[in-house]
Amino acid sequence: MKPAAGWEKTCSVFIFRGVMKDGYEHGRQERGVSMKGKGNYLVIALVLLLFVLPLVVDSNYILSVLIIMGLYTIVVQGLGILMGYAGQVSLGHAAFFGLGAYSVAVLTTRLSWPEVFALLGAAVVPGIIAAVIGRPTLKLRELYLAMGTLGFGLLVHIGFNEAHSLTGGPSGMSGIPYLTLGHLVLDTDFKFYYLVWAVVLLVMLVIKNLTASRTGRALRAVSESEYAAESVGIDTAGLKLKAMVFSAVLAGLAGGLYAYYVTFVSPATFGFHASVQFVLMAVVGGPGTLAGPAAGAALVVALGEFLRWLIPLIIPGAGGEYEIIFFGLILAVVMVLCPRGLGTISSYFPRFSGEGSTKPAGVLPDIKDKGGIP
């Protein structure tokens, strides 16, 4: 077949869709063309906002919240690959996050490794553990996989508590040094903010590449039909394992950064609750979207902080359980309004998604009309 003129344009439109579209059934393909320009402006605006924020916000509290959002975003980006693309759930990701944090704690305080190497360790150790437990665990499906990963998370959590000589037990480990990059000591929230969000952007870039590639398609294929994926030659077990390892590496990296940020680790941070939070962020954000993990992490963290401040004002003497009730209510409303997650929200506004999005999928326009297909 002879490629017709305009071929490259068509191709980039398809790929762009592959990325933006999120891999789930919706009939909003057609936004591909018109989103491209506006989407880029939106991204540039957001990156600028991220860059400017610490310069105008003079509050360590807000900076610390933003840093935590960034760290969780890294975890949820990886979890999103596992859940949204490969279609596998994990209720044990806090364990990988914790393994990363403890790797930094142990390698710096007990073994006096240079900080940067310890951070590498924080990515590698959870990755290796994921590779080991992944094979048997990923044979499980759906609920059983959830139970399996949950069990793994609990085991690791127990390990943090019980391996006193290594982890300091329930009281944790303190005295973790600040991260030093060359001559730069990341000893303030201001500096750490830039590091964390630079890592977030880098991770997003890498994931954008991944999802718009042969491997990204294969991952989506696995989540849609393992039979069909196998039939076209995709080693589904191996690919799921790689997705698991990748998500563990990201969670570990975030955990390592977390340890350098708070310079103290204890088991309480890495329990079942945290694992559930990560899954929550992924689902609220929309697994399988690029912006979803950041949106999910931001919403869940911000909501938690906001309610902690707000609830005592409106219900004097209210305990933490009120926060949880409102937290749940608000997230439920979000999921009802935006069932595929916040990452797909732009498609709800025709202004951003191009005129096509209001058309039902059944009458998708002939792409030829848009100067497309040969």
Interface pick for another protein out of 225, 328, 348, 371 (rule CB under 8 A) = 225
Q: Is 356 in the site for another protein (CB under 8 A)?
A: no
- The alpha carbon of 20 is separated from its chain's Cα centroid by a whole number of angstroms, namely 16
Residue range at the interface with another protein (CB under 8 A); choices 10-18, 40-48, 147-155, 292-300: 10-18
Geometric angle at alpha carbon 249, from 235 and 295, rounded to 5° = 100
CB of 20 to another protein, least distance (A): 12
* Separation of alpha carbons 271 and 324, rounded Å: 17
Among the residue ranges 28-36, 58-66, 156-164, 179-187, the one whose residues contact another protein (CB under 8 A): 28-36
Closer of 188 and 231 to another protein (Cβ) = 231
Q: DSSP label at 268?
A: G
User: What distance in Å separates the CA atoms of residue 139 and residue 233, rounded to the nearest whole number?
Assistant: 18
**Among residues 77, 109, 236, 275, the one that binds another protein under rule CB under 8 A:** 236
- 66 phi/psi in degrees, rounded to 5: -65, -35
CB of 290 to another protein, least distance (A): 12
Window 238-277: residues binding another protein (CB under 8 A): 239, 242, 246
Q: Does 368 bind another protein (CB under 8 A)?
A: yes
Site string for another protein, 194-223 (x = CB under 8 A): -----------xxxxxx-xxxxxxx-xx--
Torsion angle (degrees, nearest 10) of CA 77, 82, 85, 89: -120
Least CB distance from residue 367 to another protein, whole Å? Answer: 5
1-4: Cβ within 8 A, 24+ apart: 1/374, 2/374, 3/374, 4/373, 4/374
Least Å distance, CB 31 to another protein, is 11
If the CB atoms of residues 34 and 180 are measured against another protein, the closer one turns out to be: 34
Rule CB under 8 A: which of 91-130 touch another protein?
none
Torsion sign, CA atoms 269, 70, 219, 346: positive
> Based on CB atoms, which residue is closest to another protein, 38 or 208?
208
How many positions of this chain bind another protein (CB under 8 A)? 58
- For residue 7, give the H/E element and its range: helix 7-21
Find the part of the chain contacting another protein (CB under 8 A) among 56-64, 137-145, 278-286, 365-373.
365-373
Does 14 interact with another protein (rule: CB under 8 A)? Answer: yes
Stretch of residues binding another protein (CB under 8 A), selected from 225-233, 258-266, 311-319, 327-335: 225-233
Give yes or no for a contact between 295 and 285, defined as CB atoms under 8 angstroms apart.
yes
CB of 214 to another protein, least distance (A): 4
Q: Are residues 265 and 172 in contact, defined by beta-carbon separation less than 8 angstroms?
A: yes
Q: Least Å distance between CB 222 and another protein?
A: 10
Which residues have C-beta within 8 Å of that of residue 6, sequence separation ≥ 6?
371, 372, 374
Which tokens is 236 given? 């589904």
Quote the least distance from Cβ 234 to another protein, whole Å.
6
Q: Tokens at residue 148, please? A: 């399996």
Q: Where would I find the H helices in 27-180?
A: 31-56, 60-80, 93-105, 115-137, 142-162, 164-167
Q: According to the binding rule CB under 8 A, does residue 357 interact with another protein?
A: no
Exposed/middle/buried for 222, CB within 10 Å: 0-12, 13-18, 19+? buried
Q: Residues 58, 227, 314, 351: which binds another protein (CB under 8 A)?
A: 227
The verdict on 52 binding another protein (CB under 8 A) reads no
Q: How far apart are CA 105 and CA 122, in angstroms?
A: 9
Which residue lies nearer to another protein by CB, 65 or 199?
Answer: 199
Q: Give long-range contacts, CB 8 A cutoff, 24+ apart: 228-232.
A: none
Q: Which is nearer to another protein, 46 or 228 (CB)?
A: 228
Is residue 372 a contact residue for another protein (CB under 8 A)?
A: yes
Interface with another protein (CB under 8 A):
1, 3, 7-8, 11-15, 17-18, 23-27, 29-30, 32, 205-210, 212-218, 220-221, 224-225, 227-236, 239, 242, 246, 361-362, 364, 366-368, 372-374
